[in-house]
Amino acid sequence: MEVRTYPEFSTHYPLLLKTFMQRPVQLYPDQIGLVYRNHTTGAYQRFTWAQWHARTCRLANALKKLGVQPGKPGEPGDRIGTMALNTHRHMELYYAVPCSGAMLHCVNVRLAIEHVLYTITHAEDKVLFFDDVFLPMVESIYDRIKDTVKAFVYMSDQPGLPESRIEPLYDYETLIGAEEVQFDWPYLHEDTYATLCYTTATTGQPKGAMFTQRALYLQTLHLIALASFNNDPQTEQPGEDNVPMITTPMFHIHAWSQPYTYVYRCAKIVLPGTFTVDGFCDLVQTEKVTHAAVVPTILALLLEYEDIDRYDLSSLVSLGVGGGALPLGLKEKIEQRIPKMRASSGYGMTETAPVSVTAFIKKHMRDWPKEQLDQVRVKTGLPVPGMEVEVLDGDGVLVPRDNKTIGEIVVRGPWVMEKYYKNPQKTAEVWYGDWFHTGDLATVDEEGFLTIVDRMSDVIRSGSEMIPTVLLENIIATADFVLEATVVGVPDPVWGEKAMAVVKLVSGSRKEARDLIDFLKAEGVEKGKITKWMLPKLVAIVDQIPKTSVGKFSKRLIRNNLGKFLAKAVEIKE
């Protein structure tokens, strides 16, 4: 007699995001799973895991009634756009959309309006969910997206719909309130596309990176595994009892994977709407937040906050820093203000979903002194388990582990994007020679740690030499009188380009351009970290350094407004 087997539920069991959503509901249905604070009013809302799951089921039923169709391998389902902050509603969309088979497109609302418009129309979003604060933006582009978007859903903490010419316009709470609290989540094929994330478009139009259920599932499991490998004697890793705050905008590359990892860990998730310094501090104090992930500029904002000592931030033990290099000087300054907290570095990009490299203490380093461990924590790091990451020279050969030879970071792994959405030409520009080419330059030390030195597009070419701007920025940040700094290349009639440092001083500092150069000579040149010819020839001390939509220093905006910065710059003559 032939025994019937079920390979679809064994060897072919699909790796799906719904697995993450179901775990906390099964284990801790009546525990608080999400805490949301409205950043404008300061009002709190709390949801148990059972309440959140019921709302997510209602949303999935509503999507079905709106005619949203699932996809299959190679054929994306309907794209569902969101223009939303870090709220419980956005978390519901994070699961209801992909787990029902459609494709979640989180619109980066901080892009230029023409780029916002481009991403919505290029993605061909069928339904657009948007927070009340983005109503003016949606109305401003409505005439140009109304033929693409078939339904608009308004999300607000206040009941009812506003006066608007947008149609058809639905109220989120009314929409889901009419639906059942159960939904039969399908067993999709794991290669069904789950998300569509667009780049921030430093050049040209944004490009859409596509990610499958399988890719996001495997990234989540590997990141959770990474926490169990912890050898850092001073850093507690996230677990079920920890309280993470998702500070990274949820419209930015899966909020650095936190909505997946923290739901699967059943950790109480704190959502701040959008980042404000007082809101961050209030949430840490009220909810006893233990972990958060931030960009370096948020550390600078915390350092500037005059009222920070009014709050009890002692629960905070770890800050993961990405979106830019973590300068040792900035790390030291913030840890002096929040003594129990440790900051460490990581690296990724839109096309890698994003996590691919993170600072990691090897087991033989455990007993090193703190000063030496801090030198490791600010390195870009080692490949995340499951990822292959190398640094290649111009001939495609591995660079030596000498911590000085510069090459390009290349990656491959289960959550590196397969292709750009509807853009085979740009896909071919980054995928070749069996590797995804990041465009980021780095060195590798004897332990295998990567340290990013620049973007290929940002490195300064002075004569026949390259000046790595990130290296200069990291040294400048160690000065106690510097709050923030970036370095850009400006035209030079003799050398082609020369370096200009753009610096924001700490409050009350009276230091000048010459003081910065003297500091770089002492801490950089004399200690062998840089050569004398790398020193900036211009120093501009400014009140604010331009930022990108995700909080990075915007060198493009500096170059586009170069006259403004050159007017403030002091030329350094030797």
**pLDDT, tens digit (0-9, with 9 covering 90-100), for 218-236:** 999 999 999 888 888 877 6
Rounded Cα distance, 359 and 129, in Å? 36
CATH (residue range 21-444) = 3.40.50.12780
Helix (H) or strand (E) holding 169: strand 169-171
pLDDT attached to residue 236: 67
End-to-end distance of the chain based on CA atoms, in angstroms? 91
For the chain, where do the domains classified as CATH 3.40.50.12780 start and end?
21-444
Rounded Cα distance, 378 and 321, in Å? 9
Rounded Cα distance, 90 and 484, in Å? 32
pLDDT attached to residue 471: 83
Cis amide prior to 339 (ω within 30 degrees): no
Task: Indicate the fold that domain 458-571 takes in CATH.
Answer: GMP Synthetase; Chain A, domain 3 (3.30.300)
Structure tokens at 287: 């909810």
Per-residue pLDDT of the chain (574 residues; tens, 9 = 90+): 677 777 788 888 999 999 999 999 999 999 999 999 999 999 999 999 999 999 999 999 999 999 999 999 999 999 999 999 999 999 999 999 999 999 999 999 988 899 999 999 999 999 999 999 999 999 999 999 999 999 999 999 999 999 999 999 999 999 999 999 999 999 999 999 999 999 986 667 999 999 999 999 999 999 999 988 888 887 766 678 899 999 999 999 999 999 999 999 999 999 999 999 999 999 999 999 999 999 888 998 999 899 999 999 999 999 999 887 888 888 999 999 999 899 999 999 999 999 999 999 999 999 999 999 999 999 999 999 999 999 999 899 999 999 989 999 999 999 999 999 999 999 999 999 999 999 999 999 999 999 988 887 787 877 656 788 888 888 998 899 999 999 998 988 777 788 999 999 998 999 999 999 999 999 988 988 888 888 999 999 999 999 877 677 888 899 889 999 999 999 988 6
For the chain, where do the domains classified as CATH 3.30.300.30 start and end?
458-571
pLDDT attached to residue 522: 93
pLDDT attached to residue 492: 83
pLDDT attached to residue 202: 61
Neighbours of 26 (CB within 10 A): 10
pLDDT attached to residue 48: 98
Structure tokens at 523: 């801490």
pLDDT attached to residue 46: 98
Secondary structure of 118-143 as H, E, C letters = HHHHHHCCCEEEEEHHHHHHHHHHHH
